[in-house]
Chain A
Amino acid sequence: MSSVIKVKSVSKKYAKNYKSALSLLKHDFFKSFKCVKEEPSLSCNKSEFKVLDNVNFEVKNGDKLAILGNNGAGKSTLLKMIFGIILPDRGTIEIEGIVGGILELGGGFKQQLSGRENIYLIGSLYNKSKQEIDEIVDEVIEFTGLEEFIDSPVSFYSSGMKSKLSFALYLYMKPDILILDEVFAAGDKNFRTKAKEKLMELIESTTTILVSHNLGIVKEIANRVLILQKGKIIFDGDVAEGLEIYKGLK
Chain B
Amino acid sequence: MKRVYSSNYRCELNIFQLISLFFTEIFSYRKYIKSTILNDIKAKYKQDNLGLLWSIILPIVPMSLYILLATIKAFKESENIPHIFYIAVGMTVWLLISEFIVSTMKSIKKNKTILLKSNFPFSVIYISSIGELLLNTFVRIMVVGIIVIYFHIDLKLVNIILGLLFLMPVLLFAFSVGIILSIFDIYIPDTKRLVDMFLRYGLFLSSVIFPFPKDGVLGELNQFNIFNTFIEGVRNILYFGSLESYSNYVICSGITFVLFLIALFLSLKLEFKVRGNL
Contact = CB atoms under 8 A, between A and B. Distances in A.
Q: Is the A/B pair a real complex?
A: yes
Given A108-B113, A110-B39, A117-B39, A35 B188 contact: no
A90 B9 CA distance: 11
Contacts of A29: 266, 270
Interface string A104-126: 10011010110001001100110
Interface stretch (B94-102, B115-123, B228-236, B246-254): B115-123
Contact of A121 (B1, B39, B117, B120): B39
Contact of B35 (A84, A104, A121): A121
Interface stretch (B24-32, B63-71, B149-157, B167-175): B24-32
A244 interface: no
A124 B3 contact: no
B272 interface: yes
Interface stretch (A59-67, A93-101, A135-143, A188-196): A93-101
Interface in B262-278: 266, 269-270, 272-277
B273 A31 contact: yes
B269 A33 contact: yes
A240 interface: no
Contacts of B11: 32-35
Q: Which of A40, A84, A88, A90 has the most CB of B within 10 A?
A: A84
Contacts of B39: 110, 113, 117, 121
Given A29-B270, A32-B269, A87-B5, 4 more contacts: A28-B187, A28-B274, A85-B115, A93-B4
Interface of B: 1-9, 11-12, 28-29, 31-32, 34-36, 39, 42-43, 46-47, 113-120, 183-184, 187-189, 266, 269-270, 272-277
- Leading 5 A-B pairs by shortest Cβ distance: A84-B119, A28-B273, A124-B31, A35-B11, A25-B187
Interface of A: 14, 21-22, 24-25, 28-29, 31-36, 39-40, 80-81, 83-97, 99, 103-104, 107-108, 110, 112-113, 117, 120-121, 124-125, 127-130, 153
